[in-house]
A and B are shown apart, each in its own frame.
Chain A
Amino acid sequence: MEGLKKVNVQVCLGTTCFVMGSSNLQELIDTVPKRYGDDVEVSGVPCLGLCSIDWKFSKAPYVKVNDEVIKEATIDKVLKMIERKLAE
Chain B
Amino acid sequence: MFIDIDCRQEKKYNQNAYGDYFISRRYPAEGRLIAVLSDGLGSGIKANILSCMTAVMLLRFIEDDIKIKEAAEIIMNSLPVCRVRNISYSTFSAIDANEEGLVKIVEEGNPEFVWIRGMDVLKPEYTVIDSVTFKNRHMKVYKIDPKIGDRLIFCSDGITQSGLGGGILKLGLRRDGLIEIIKSKLRDDISVSSYELAKYILTQAKLAEPDRKPKDDMSACVLYFRDPRKALVFTGPPYRQETDGEYAAIFKNFKGKRAICGGTTANILSRELGIPVKTGRLISIDALPACSYMEGVDLVTEGILTLTRVLEYLESGIPDSDNAAAKLANFLLESDVIDFMIGAKLNQAHYDPTLPVEIEIRKNVVKKIAVILEKKYFKKANLQYM
Contacts and interface: CB of A to CB of B under 8 A. Distances in A.
B264 interface: yes
Nearest to A26: B283
B289 A23 contact: yes
B373 to A, nearest CB: 23
B357 interface: yes
A20 B349 CA distance: 11
B131 interface: no
A5 B356 CA distance: 38
A7 interface: no
B302 A29 contact: no
Interface string B241-269: 00000000000000000000011101100
A19 B302 contact: no
B305 A60 contact: no
Interface string A25-48: 110010000000000000111110
Contact of A23 (B266, B281, B287): B287
Contacts, number: 92
Contacts of A44: 279-280, 283, 289-290, 292
Contacts of B264: 14, 46-47, 49, 52
A27 to B, nearest CB: 9
Contacts of A43: 279
Interface residues of A, number: 27
Contacts of B302: 13-15, 18, 46
Nearest to A48: B263
Contacts of A54: 349
Contacts of A14: 263-264, 302
Contact of A47 (B267, B304, B356): B267
B303 interface: yes
A17 B185 CA distance: 49
B348 interface: yes
Given A52-B264, A52-B347, A55-B349, A19 B283 contact: no
B281 to A, nearest CB: 6
Interface in B295-336: 300, 302-305
B359 A26 contact: no
Given A19-B359, A45-B277, A13 B350 contact: no
Given A15-B303, A52-B348, A20 B356 contact: yes
B263 A15 contact: yes
Contacts of B284: 18, 23, 26
Interface string B340-353: 00000001111010
B348 A55 contact: yes
Contacts of A45: 263, 277, 279
Nearest to B303: A15
B288 to A, nearest CB: 8
A60 B359 CA distance: 15
B122 interface: no
B348 A19 contact: no
A51 B350 CA distance: 9
A18 B305 contact: yes
17 contacts: A13-B279, A13-B283, A13-B289, A13-B292, A13-B302, A14-B302, A15-B262, A15-B347, A16-B347, A16-B349, A26-B283, A44-B279, A44-B289, A45-B279, A47-B263, A52-B349, A55-B352
